[in-house]
Every structure is written in C-alpha cells, then in structure tokens.
Amino acid sequence: AEIKLRHPDRASDLYESALKLRGNHRPTLRALSELALERGEQQKAALYLRRLAEDAGDRMERAQMFERLGDLYLELNDEPQALSAYNEAVKAYNVPGEEQVSLLEKVLKLQRSTGATEAAAQTSALLVELVKDPKERGERRREAALLAAERGSVREAAELLEQELVEDPQDEAALV
C-alpha cells in the first residue's frame, strides 16, 4: 500500500520489518531489491539479489538470479564479483546449452580481463562446442587457439587451427 501511495521509504521499512519475521521471504526480497534499484542503491540491491539467488529452489531461477546479479556488479564496475556471480549462474545450469552462449560470452570477457587465462581457455572451448553457425564456430576456434598460445600450449593452438581448416578450408583468417 505504501508503494501505491508513493511512500517507498516507508514501504522499505515495512519490508525490512517483514524480513525480520521471515528472513528469506522471496517476494519481500524481490520487492526490496526493486526498491533499492529504483533509488539507485545498487549495492543494497545486489545484497537482496544474492539472497534471492542463493535461496532459489529451482536451478533455472537460481541461474537467472545469479546472471542478473552479475549484470548488476558489472554496472558497479566490480568485475571479480560479476565473474563470481556469472560462474554461479553457469554452475546452476549444470550443463550449459546453446541458450547460455550469451552468459558464457560474459564469463569469457571477464575471465580475459581479469587474467584468468586457463579458465578463459576452458570457457572458449565450451563455446566452440555450443555454437552451431560454422562461421561463428571458426571465430570461436581461432579465439580458443589464441588463448592456448597465450598459455604456452602451441600444440593445442595448432590443433584448433587445423580443425578449423578441416571444417572450412576456405577460412583465410585461420591461416593468418
């Protein structure tokens, strides 16, 4: 009622009181995270989202909450927390499928920017397997080869490029 009356501060206090009675009441946590976002309190919203994600019973909801949390941490320029949340989302999916390519791309970007080359190589290899478009798979394979070379695994890099040439002999980018 306080929200409808345009009193979000009072609503927030009431929601906080409700949480004292039922610590992980999902609708209350969701409402508090939304109120915090509306007020520009991203750190506070992140705390509520984390609680929602950790308490989610359904693995799909858990994954979506962690991905949303990762997006929020990215807005806050907190790459380590964002990467941690995205990794939790990937874990919640158990075996990522084609639908999670965008999530894995976020993970890969953060792994590269934080210097987690080994993890980036694994994520890149997973993306090669998940992508169906031959042209995009070729780009992914070249990226995986580059990561392998950065790790000092020249043989693995060569194998990846060779696989790309077998799949698409006309791929000039694999030769460069």
Q: How far is CA 40 from CA 15, 33, 43, 44, 137, in A?
A: 18, 10, 9, 9, 40
Using an 8 Å Cβ cutoff, are 63 and 89 in contact?
yes
pTM summary value: 0.79
Quote the mean pLDDT of the chain. Answer: 84
Q: Is the model more confident about 32 or about 17?
A: 32
Percent of the chain with pLDDT over 70: 81
One DSSP character per residue, the chain reads -TTTTT-HHHHHHHHHHHHHHSTT-HHHHHHHHHHHHHTT-HHHHHHHHHHHHHH-SSHHHHHHHHHHHHHHHHHTT-HHHHHHHHHHHHHHHSS--GGGHHHHHHHHHHHHHTT-HHHHHHHHHHHHHH---HHHHHHHHHHHHHHHHHTT-HHHHHHHHHHHHHH-TT-GGGT-
- pLDDT by residue (tens digit) across 77-109? 999 999 999 999 999 998 888 899 999 999 999
- Is the per-residue pLDDT at 5 higher than 50? no
